A and B are shown apart, each in its own frame.
Chain A
Amino acid sequence: MSKKEEEYLKLMEDNQNRIYRIASIYCNNRQDIKDLSQEIAYQVWKSFDSFRAESEMSTWLYRIALNTAIQFLKREKRHLKPLSYQLYEFDTCSDEKSENKDLEIKQLMHAIQGLKELDKAIILLYLEEKSHSEIASILNLSITNVGTRIQRIKKKLKTTITDQKHGSR
């Protein structure tokens, strides 16, 4: 195995769950998540030679992953299957309180999946605990714009979830 292949496998090993989470935001069922994760892995491999140390490895990886996800969604939109929340598994017990928590998480994920592509990317990076300046660098927005957008998205998600709750009653 060449040095390049070893470096690539190490990078993927370190980031496999990160890529999986990105795919979970953009796809609705396990098969699509699997396809998208593998597509991202393939695009990372294809672009591996082009990586320059100008930006951080994680910034570079997020850009490729998000751009691949957006293009994958555009290409496969017709074939994507309906929403299924069975995918998300959290460290919770099976008591009533945890079930409520699971439901709330699922409602929030549903609301996030309904956001515009850029907003979805911003929220994903926010959930990944990226700083405003890192988000700005990955997306090419100003730091102020990132902050404003995050506040706006939070409000939007709150409204969507409230509407969902009222709708289900």
Chain B
Amino acid sequence: MDLDKLKANWKSIEPLQSDDHPLNQQSLKRVIGKKYDKTFFKMAIPEVLVAALYLYLLVFILVFNRYFTGIWLQVLAIMAIVLLLAIPIFSLTSFFRYYRTGKLAMPVVNALETLKKQGELFMKTQYLLLVLNLILMADLIVLVPIVYSENLDSIQKIVSIVIGVVIITILSIMIWRYYKKKIARINEYAQNMV
């Protein structure tokens, strides 16, 4: 079958059951009554969950600060710092992930080009944040043992730095792999557009 034959049949494509049409009066009235963009909630839910987890861990560390000393305190402190850094990164990447083309009524080619530019900006931002994150984390590995130097002897300091390096290496690999996959998907999508 060629395209012209499909063209002749094209308008017969309709929902299987007319009662179940996705745009029946009832659903359209719901659309009119909808006050908030559901995209905002999609974005906000993971953000709120991460923030809640972070706050929980912060309280956990503050409470157990009395009971944990030395190396365990340091491990928990590093975890809290990593999470603290993860929040702005997560927020920024979420923003780009859900950022939309401003005017949907613009011609399709212009919208596709805008999307492509957004993809490139998103990629650059993620790389920049990754590098920034690694520099800050490496800096903190050195700072934390100094802050808690009174509680640690030299062997504990070495062990804690090794643990810190291991944690950061694992996290870096995870973040790197995550970004790599995401960037590959953006590139694939961009190539598929025009």
Residues of A within 8 A of B (CB): 5, 8-9, 12, 16-17, 19-21, 23-24, 30, 33-34, 37-38, 41-43, 45-47, 50-51, 60, 63-64, 66-68, 70-71, 74-75, 77, 87-91, 101, 104-105, 107-109, 116-118, 121, 123, 126-129, 137-141, 153-154, 157-158, 161
Q: Using A67-B104, A75-B98 as known contacts, list a sample of 12 further A-B pairs with CB atoms less than 8 Å apart, ordered by residue number in A.
A: A8-B32, A9-B28, A16-B23, A41-B27, A50-B103, A66-B108, A70-B115, A74-B115, A77-B185, A101-B1, A116-B193, A139-B109
CB-based contact B108/A121 at 8 Å: yes
C-alpha gap A107/B15 in the complex (Å): 19
CB-based contact B104/A90 at 8 Å: no
Q: Please, which residue of chain A has its CB at the minimum distance from the CB of B114?
A: A67
Given contacts A20-B23, A37-B23, A63-B106, contact A71 B115 (CB under 8 A): yes
Identify A41's interface contact among B31, B104, B194, CB under 8 A.
Answer: B31
C-alpha gap A127/B100 in the complex (Å): 28
Identify B104's interface contact among A33, A64, A87, A121, CB under 8 A.
Answer: A64
Chain B 1-60 interface residues, beta-carbon cutoff 8 Å to A: 1-3, 5-7, 9-16, 21-23, 25, 27-29, 31-32, 34, 37
Chain B 98-120 interface residues, beta-carbon cutoff 8 Å to A: 98, 100-101, 103-112, 115
CB-based contact B3/A34 at 8 Å: no
Q: Please, which residue of chain B has its CB at the minimum distance from the CB of A17?
A: B14
Residues of B within 8 A of A (CB): 1-3, 5-7, 9-16, 21-23, 25, 27-29, 31-32, 34, 37, 97-98, 100-101, 103-112, 115, 185, 189, 192-194
CB-based contact A37/B193 at 8 Å: no
Q: Please, which residue of chain B has its CB at the minimum distance from the CB of A150?
A: B3
CB-based contact B194/A118 at 8 Å: yes
Q: Please, which residue of chain B has its CB at the minimum distance from the CB of A161?
A: B1
C-alpha gap A33/B185 in the complex (Å): 22
CB-based contact B189/A74 at 8 Å: yes
Chain A CB within 10 A, most for which of B6, B29, B189, B194: B6
